[in-house]
């Protein structure tokens, strides 16, 4: 029977799992055999809509669904030449999770970073952050739509991916740039399932919390022809849905003030410039986000194989992702001093716990800010590539690959952060363990007195115009690459083959920022007038009265809102209005004063070009029960950086927080650097017994700095507030992070029903990129007479130097019963310690100490049902918060999902799925559980649809 979907195979597929017992004898015979493998990698093994198993009689059995997906994944792991884990599509056009990132979380050692709106977006491998993983598509580096290197998996519709493989140990023949793991995504190809095939699905979506729905449609068609020497595949998908999330927008604390008692017992607030004061928030913000996501894209592939010695592949992928988010929240500044330096706290009633956290206090003369933001994302990603496998001689194999890809995200000048406020209010704060602090807000009456009016009663007479921030980035990342790999089959004793080759990559990342930061953002700063004073109707009644409904506490549950367009258009009513004067000039606002000037912000923009040449030699060896490889990879990388900066022309201190600074014209700053590395690697596997294999691996690896860190820009603008710091000082001469790493794994495959694996790993990282404060004397180029000739300044720049250690254990297994029930589970223990200059030694950021996944499924009689559970223990989300001595910890996270489907016909399936069934929220705190750092609640989501195949 040919591998693929025929009508007969579809009919047999519903009961093929009952024949698992027949498979064991033939499968076990091949499980312990050594596969010499190949260093010419073109992506993970085939993952179509079925997997083929040969039984003792020589017949082939087609296995579909979850079981077929798991069998293909374990085949990829068993047959690989190094330590890998893999996942594959359950059927043609059907990936096992809602998106690729969440599917990868089923692999041991992999954790998913949420995007702040409930959807998996980034991937962390073995405790190392997303920038330490290299993501490729069909073996080619993917461009990214963000300012750094990490790939945002949410831009790819899951339906265009047929499989993914994570290579956890390095080989000389593989692309460098990863310490955590190489993640290679694979698109479907027509030769995966020969003949004509088609699959499609139509799905409805519903979010219980948002009470909104969505729709998704997907389809894929493939065919082979010309005597099975040619094939073509085309896939496409469209998805649109709405969502709501409630969140703690900000809880930023500091410890720069202390509360002390004098000899008479009277309390006062004093400065603690070196930290160590009381821990109190200077902003507390809660609110909600309403958004809409839209994705459409697809893939195409062409294969031509006129003979066993030659194959040509052409493939491409395209994704268009739009994300529109409207964020509404209330924010309150809670620092102890008002603008005149008066103490705002009721010091007699302040309570402080043993950790020096303020737990109960009242802030008088507080300003309540109501914020509305637009946060769009418009990402387009595509990649085109061609690949040739050619065998010109019996012993020589050649693989050539050429690709071009580009990712863009054009939102320059489209992000809007608009604030209106109510000065003269009162805030009462009471912290609570493992929850959000109580925040009781009271707004002033018309005469300025504060009685018992609450925020939800605020209107146009209360809210006053303030800050208008309009910004955004136009990001472009283009990558051109070429690879040549050759393998000579020596077959000479222990030497099986020699692999050698090289690659070239030319990558350019440009980030152009467009904003109004230095033009009109603060034109109405300082709350100069209420909207009622200009006759504008801006403020709307609260849209929701149940913000963060799953949390106990007394904090704002209903907040007034405003539409940003209405807010901005109303400001023209202040122009030439004699009833509204500009407090800075004492005159009416002139014509055009409300018009926002959105211009390029060169100081925040940069362009980085990175060219890498590499070459390798790898010797593949083996014996009767073992195989291995050892090799060396040479890497040569050159970086060209273009940033912008300005120097200070004159500097005159006006007050404690103000300086009269005149800057020289903005000018480009060019820079660059280069580095060379020799990266050795060795891998060996040995069959201890039939079906029992041990693997050992050792290597040196690198991970490159982010593009933002390589920018040559320098920003002196903080001097305007008399802050002697130069920020955003990149370093284009940064070197990559280096790692010495070792792995060992034990794999047991007694038959196709059972697979057990156990692995341990160790990594020692050096040259971590960190921020260093460098003192220097600022000498203005044309100082005003009578002012000092120089000023002590500090430049915050990126340098190499810190180190970390990561080690852990991974275990996994799967077991299939004859009655259609199957089990899959894995767990990872991870330990890390990072040394940061001037900061306490902490766990490495995003390194999850313990994670586990479990799935139970049933496939028989046309029914496919599964329940899966994911667990992540508490971990360090950031090594320091707003207070350097406090790390941000994330509390344990639980995720439960379930699905059930039924084959109405062999070609027609209906299904229902649910995610986040435990209604879990994401929570983080700053070391102490009564100092929150992040909270997000997204609610449960349900999906229902129909899937057809031919």
Q: Are the beta carbons of 612 and 640 closer than 8 angstroms?
A: no
Residue 932, classed as helix, strand or coil, is strand
Closest CA to 138 of 200, 226, 45: 45
Region of 335 please: left (phi>0), alpha (psi -120 to 50) or beta.
beta
Give the separation between CA 408 and CA 448, rounded to whole angstroms: 50
What pLDDT score was predicted for residue 404? 97
Distances (CA, A) of 421 to 237, 292, 440, 459, 574: 44, 28, 16, 11, 17
Query: Which residues, listed in sequence order, are joined to residue 62 by a DSSP beta bridge?
Result: 52
Query: Which residues, listed in sequence order, are joined to residue 905 by a DSSP beta bridge?
Result: 908
Those residues with Cβ within 8 angstroms of residue 593's Cβ, 6 or more apart along the chain or in another chain: 523, 574, 575, 582
Block residue for tokens 């694996």: 757
Beta strands in 719-753 (DSSP E): 725-729, 737-751
Assigned token pair, 724 = 């002697």
Give the separation between CA 738 and CA 750, rounded to whole angstroms: 38
Residue 545, φ and ψ in degrees, nearest 5: -120, 15
Assigned token pair, 574 = 């202040």
What is the distance of C-alpha 577 from the center of its chain? 48
With b for 16 or more beta-carbon neighbours within 10 A and e for fewer, the 171-210 pattern comes to: bbbbbbbbbbbbbbbbbbbbbbbbbebbbbbebebbbebb
What pLDDT score was predicted for residue 729? 73
Give the separation between CA 426 and CA 368, rounded to whole angstroms: 8
Give the separation between CA 69 and CA 63, rounded to whole angstroms: 9
Query: Which residues, listed in sequence order, are joined to residue 185 by a DSSP beta bridge?
Result: 137, 164
Those residues with Cβ within 8 angstroms of residue 883's Cβ, 6 or more apart along the chain or in another chain: 253, 254, 255, 275, 279, 926
What pLDDT score was predicted for residue 35? 33
Enter the pTM of the model. Answer: 0.87
Provide block-wise average pLDDT over 10 residues at a time, the chain (950 residues). 30 34 36 35 37 44 66 84 83 65 78 67 80 90 88 83 89 91 90 91 92 92 95 94 91 89 87 85 92 92 96 96 93 87 88 92 93 94 96 95 96 94 94 92 91 92 95 95 96 90 96 92 94 95 92 92 95 94 93 95 92 96 93 97 91 76 91 94 95 95 92 83 78 93 95 91 90 86 90 86 89 90 92 72 80 92 91 84 83 91 92 92 91 91 92
Those residues with Cβ within 8 angstroms of residue 774's Cβ, 6 or more apart along the chain or in another chain: 794, 795, 796, 797
Q: Are the beta carbons of 366 and 343 closer than 8 angstroms?
A: no
Q: Are the beta carbons of 127 and 830 closer than 8 angstroms?
A: yes
What pLDDT score was predicted for residue 6? 32
Give the separation between CA 111 and CA 136, rounded to whole angstroms: 18
Long-range contacts of 337-345 (CB under 8 A, 24+ apart): 337/269, 338/365, 343/268, 343/269, 345/259, 345/269
Assigned token pair, 875 = 């971990």
Give the separation between CA 450 and CA 439, rounded to whole angstroms: 16
Give the separation between CA 947 and CA 139, rounded to whole angstroms: 30
What pLDDT score was predicted for residue 468? 96
Q: Are the beta carbons of 460 and 537 closer than 8 angstroms?
A: yes
- CA-angle at 573, arms to 571 and 574, nearest 5°: 75
Residue 857, φ and ψ in degrees, nearest 5: -140, 160
Rg (CA), the chain: 30
Q: Are the beta carbons of 511 and 473 closer than 8 angstroms?
A: yes
Distances (CA, A) of 593 to 572, 598, 811, 820: 8, 13, 64, 72
Number of residues written out for the chain: 950
What pLDDT score was predicted for residue 275? 79
Q: Are the beta carbons of 696 and 683 closer than 8 angstroms?
A: yes
Distances (CA, A) of 454 to 98, 221, 549, 568: 42, 59, 19, 26
Q: Are the beta carbons of 467 and 516 closer than 8 angstroms?
A: no
Those residues with Cβ within 8 angstroms of residue 582's Cβ, 6 or more apart along the chain or in another chain: 528, 588, 589, 593
Give the separation between CA 125 and CA 704, rounded to whole angstroms: 16
Q: Are the beta carbons of 472 and 412 closer than 8 angstroms?
A: yes
Distances (CA, A) of 899 to 49, 551, 572, 864, 894: 19, 28, 54, 8, 17
Closest CA to 239 of 292, 200, 201, 295: 295
């Amino acid at each position: 029977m040919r591998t693929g979907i025929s009508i007969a195979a579809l009919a047999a597929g519903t009961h093929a799992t009952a024949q698992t017992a027949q498979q064991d004898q033939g499968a076990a015979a091949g499980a312990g055999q050594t596969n010499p493998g190949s260093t010419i990698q073109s992506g993970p093994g085939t993952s179509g809509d079925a997997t083929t198993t040969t039984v003792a009689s020589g017949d082939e059995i087609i296995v579909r669904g979850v079981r077929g997906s798991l069998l293909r994944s374990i085949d990829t792991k068993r047959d690989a030449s190094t330590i890998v884990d893999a996942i594959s599509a359950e059927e043609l056009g059907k990936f096992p999770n809602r998106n690729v990132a969440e599917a990868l979380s089923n692999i041991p050692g992999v954790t998913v970073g949420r995007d702040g709106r409930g959807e998996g977006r980034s991937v962390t491998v073995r405790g190392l952050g997303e920038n330490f993983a290299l993501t490729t598509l069909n073996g080619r580096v993917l461009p990214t739509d963000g300012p750094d290197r990490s790939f945002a998996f949410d831009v790819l519709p899951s339906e265009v991916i047929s499989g993914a493989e994570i290579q956890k140990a390095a080989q000389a023949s593989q692309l460098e740039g990863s310490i955590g793991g190489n993640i290679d995504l694979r698109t479907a190809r027509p030769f995966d399932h020969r003949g004509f095939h088609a699959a499609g699905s139509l799905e409805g979506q519903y979010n219980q919390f948002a009470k909104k729905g969505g729709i998704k449609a997907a389809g894929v068609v493939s065919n082979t022809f010309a005597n099975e020497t040619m094939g073509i595949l085309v896939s496409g998908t469209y998805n649109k849905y709405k969502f709501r999330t409630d969140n703690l927008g900000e809880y930023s604390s500091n410890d720069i003030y202390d509360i002390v008692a004098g000899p008479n017992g009277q309390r006062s607030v004093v400065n603690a410039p070196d930290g160590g004061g009381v821990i109190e928030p200077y902003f507390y913000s809660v609110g909600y986000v309403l958004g809409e996501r839209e994705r459409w894209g697809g893939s195409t592939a062409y294969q031509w194989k006129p003979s066993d010695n030659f194959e040509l592949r052409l493939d491409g992928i395209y994704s268009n992702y739009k994300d529109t988010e409207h964020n509404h929240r209330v924010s309150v500044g809670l620092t102890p001093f008002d603008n005149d330096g008066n103490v705002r706290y009721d010091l007699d009633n302040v309570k402080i716990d043993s950790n020096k956290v303020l737990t109960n206090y009242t802030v008088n003369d507080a300003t309540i800010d109501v914020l509305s933001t637009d946060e769009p994302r418009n990402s387009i990603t595509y990649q085109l590539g061609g690949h040739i496998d050619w065998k010109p001689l019996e012993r020589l194999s050649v693989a050539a690959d050429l690709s071009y890809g580009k990712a863009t995200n054009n939102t320059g000048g489209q992000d809007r952060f608009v604030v209106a406020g109510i000065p003269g209010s009162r805030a009462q704060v009471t912290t609570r363990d493992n929850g959000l602090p109580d925040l009781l807000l009271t707004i002033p009456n018309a005469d300025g007195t504060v009685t018992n009016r609450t925020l939800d009663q605020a209107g146009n007479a209360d809210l006053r115009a303030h800050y208008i921030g309009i910004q955004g980035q136009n990001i472009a990342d283009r990558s051109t690459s070429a690879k040549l790999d050759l393998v000579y089959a020596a077959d000479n004793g222990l030497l099986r083959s020699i692999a050698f080759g090289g690659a070239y990559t030319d990558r350019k990342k440009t980030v152009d920022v467009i904003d109004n930061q230095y033009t009109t953002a603060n034109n109405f700063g300082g709350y100069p007038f209420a909207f009622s004073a200009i006759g504008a109707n801006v403020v709307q009644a609260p849209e929701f009265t149940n913000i963060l409904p799953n949390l106990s506490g007394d904090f704002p549950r209903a907040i007034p809102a405003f539409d940003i367009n209405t807010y901005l258009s109303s400001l023209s009513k202040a122009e030439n209005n004699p009833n509204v004067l500009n407090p800075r000039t004492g005159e009416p606002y002139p014509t055009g004063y409300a018009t926002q000037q959105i211009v390029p912000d060169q100081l925040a923009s940069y362009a980085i070009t990175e060219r890498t040449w590499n070459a390798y030699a790898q010797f593949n060896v083996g014996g009767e029960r073992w195989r291995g490889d050892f090799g060396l990879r040479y890497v040569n990388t050159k970086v060209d950086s273009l940033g912008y900066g300005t120097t200070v022309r004159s500097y005159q201190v006006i007050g404690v927080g103000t300086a009269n600074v005149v800057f020289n014209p903005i000018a480009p700053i060019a820079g660059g650097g280069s580095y060379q590395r020799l990266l050795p690697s060795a891998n060996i596997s040995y069959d201890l017994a039939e079906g029992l294999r041990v693997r050992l691996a050792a290597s040196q690896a690198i991970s490159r700095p982010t593009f933002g860190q390589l920018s040559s820009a320098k920003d002196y603008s903080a001097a305007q507030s008399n802050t002697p710091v130069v920020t955003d000082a990149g370093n284009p001469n940064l070197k990559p992070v280096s790692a010495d790493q070792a792995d060992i794994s034990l794999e047991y495959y007694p038959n196709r029903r059972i697979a057990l694996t156990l692995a341990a790993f160790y990594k020692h990282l050096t040259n971590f990129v960190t921020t260093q404060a460098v003192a220097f004397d600022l000498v203005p180029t044309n100082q005003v007479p009578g002012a000092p000739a120089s000023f002590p300044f500090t430049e915050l720049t990126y340098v190499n130097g810190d180190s970390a250690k990561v080690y852990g254990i991974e275990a996994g297994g799967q077991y299939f019963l004859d009655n259609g029930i199957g089990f899959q589970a894995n767990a990872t223990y991870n330990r890390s310690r990072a040394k940061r200059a001037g900061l306490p030694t902490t766990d490495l950021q995003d390194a999850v100490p313990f994670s586990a996944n479990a799935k139970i499924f049933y496939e028989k009689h046309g029914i496919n049902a599964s329940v899966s559970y994911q667990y992540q223990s508490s971990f360090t989300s950031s090594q320091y918060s707003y207070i350097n001595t406090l790390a941000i910890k994330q509390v344990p996270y639980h995720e439960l999902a379930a699905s059930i489907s039924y084959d109405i016909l062999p070609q027609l399936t209906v299904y229902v799925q649910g995610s986040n069934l435990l209604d879990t929220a994401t929570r983080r705190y700053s070391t102490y559980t009564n100092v929150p750092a992040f909270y997000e609640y997204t609610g449960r989501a349900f999906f229902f649809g129909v899937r057809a195949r031919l």
